[in-house]
């Protein structure tokens, strides 16, 4: 199909989302949809089924629901709906997004505890095991799979094994990993998995989604701390209405997401996309190190989603100048997000190919070394 009528972007987004999308995903938004019409609702149902399958859950024990807004809206819908008045949440924190979960719990008046392992360390698994043994009040545990604060990847498999050995409900914020890193939700016995349209599926912003055990979703009834973010009511409406949303839905974004899912399958699924992301990330890090940059995290801790680099202390390096120089060459990167070190971040998810990494490294060399 000819997409020449869609202008080229002036730069690629090397961020953890929103990210650079294909022209065909953009083109999918050039039609209007009625939220009450079966043509549109069938798209919603298609997406819901595909999400469950992508999570490795192909039986009737799992379900999914879409939620308007950014990914944080979906996180808050789960935190504010999954935990009853008698429940207690344990949040594993090693970055801004784990801390955000704890803040949501606090603002919703949910009883919770926090295990903060700092910004450059994975959660202490022995401490997690001991806390679950000691505190029988804890009913739910929440963890961020990939903390884009630094790019650290948390050992969700080991965390899941501990949480499930203690028979607790597990909530995984897979915002920046789902679709780009294989996750066996059923095998890990995850209760709730949360992500967003504009991440590794490579759609555009507008909604998030929750994949869940059907029994865990049903247990949310009557718990919500918000009308708009009532997870059970949103899900129940989609179930009864065959894809109908409670309130006005982001129709164009939904159609683009359907296209993005199809393109994920055409690429070879999550395994193939993960391989591309990992290859691009390896090339990025190797090239940046050759230019004299150092990564914030040791290699075993780094995800293939986004990488934090320490800002150089020589050459009069100033991030704003570096950022603007890179942008002139057609790339947008991210500032750092931690206080312990001066860093900047470069993502490699989205419609980014190996040739783009080569061009980026050439631009970095020109801007940094002059």
Cis, bond preceding 252 (omega within 30 deg of 0): no
Task: Check whether residue 336 and residue 201 sit in a common domain.
Answer: no
What span, in angstroms and rounded, lies between the C-alpha atoms of 154 and 94? 9
How many folded domains does the chain comprise? 2
Task: Check whether residue 310 and residue 248 sit in a common domain.
Answer: no
The boundaries of the domain holding residue 64 are 24-266
**pLDDT value of position 7:** 79
Closest CA to 290 of 309, 276, 306: 309
Which among 242, 266, 290 is the end of a domain?
Answer: 266
Closest CA to 210 of 69, 98, 39, 89: 69
Task: Check whether residue 176 and residue 289 sit in a common domain.
Answer: no
pLDDT tens digits along 143-161: 999 999 999 999 999 999 9
**pLDDT value of position 157:** 98
- Would the pTM count as exceeding 0.85? yes
Task: Give me the residues of the chain with pLDDT under 50, please.
Answer: none
134: domain CATH number is 3.40.640.10
**pLDDT value of position 339:** 78
Contact 35, 241 (CB under 8 A): no
pLDDT tens digits along 47-62: 999 999 999 987 779 9
What are the counts of helices (DSSP H) followed by strands (DSSP E) for the chain? 13, 15
Which among 266, 286, 301 is the end of a domain?
Answer: 266
Strand, coil or helix: what is 332?
A: strand
């Amino acid at each position: 199909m000819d997409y020449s009528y869609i202008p080229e972007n002036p730069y690629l987004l090397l961020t953890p989302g929103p990210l650079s999308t294909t022209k065909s995903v953009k083109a999918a938004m050039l039609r209007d949809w009625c939220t009450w019409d079966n043509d549109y609702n069938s798209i919603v149902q298609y997406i819901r089924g595909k999400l469950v399958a992508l999570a490795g859950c192909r039986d009737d024990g799992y379900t999914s629901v879409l939620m308007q807004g950014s990914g944080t809206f979906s996180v808050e819908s789960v935190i504010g709906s999954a935990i009853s008045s008698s429940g207690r949440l344990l949040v594993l924190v090693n970055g801004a997004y784990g801390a955000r979960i704890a803040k949501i719990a606090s603002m919703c008046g949910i009883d919770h505890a926090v295990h903060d392992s700092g910004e450059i360390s994975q959660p202490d698994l022995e401490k997690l095991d001991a806390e679950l043994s000691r505190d029988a009040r804890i009913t739910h545990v929440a963890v961020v799979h990939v903390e884009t604060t630094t790019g650290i990847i948390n050992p969700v498999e080991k965390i899941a094994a501990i949480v499930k050995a203690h028979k607790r409900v597990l909530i995984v914020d897979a915002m920046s990993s789902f679709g780009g890193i294989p996750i066996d939700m059923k095998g890990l016995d995850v209760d709730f998995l949360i992500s967003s349209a504009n991440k590794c599926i490579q759609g555009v912003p507008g909604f998030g989604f929750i994949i869940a055990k059907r029994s865990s979703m049903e247990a949310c009834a009557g718990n919500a701390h918000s009308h708009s973010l009532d997870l059970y009511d949103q899900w129940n409406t989609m179930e009864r209405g065959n894809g109908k949303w409670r309130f006005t839905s982001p129709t164009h974004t939904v159609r683009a997401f359907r296209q993005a899912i199809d393109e994920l399958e055409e690429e070879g699924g999550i395994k193939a996309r993960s391989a591309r992301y990992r290859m691009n990330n390896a090339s990025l890090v190797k090239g940046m190190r050759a230019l004299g940059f150092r990564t914030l995290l040791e290699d075993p801790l780094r995800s293939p989603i986004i990488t934090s680099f320490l800002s150089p202390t020589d050459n009069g390096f100033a991030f704003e100048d570096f950022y603007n120089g890179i942008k002139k060459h057609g790339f947008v990167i991210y500032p750092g997000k931690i206080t312990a070190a001066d860093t900047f971040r470069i993502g490699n998810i989205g419609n980014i190919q190996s040739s783009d990494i080569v061009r980026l490294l050439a631009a970095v060399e020109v801007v940094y070394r002059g």
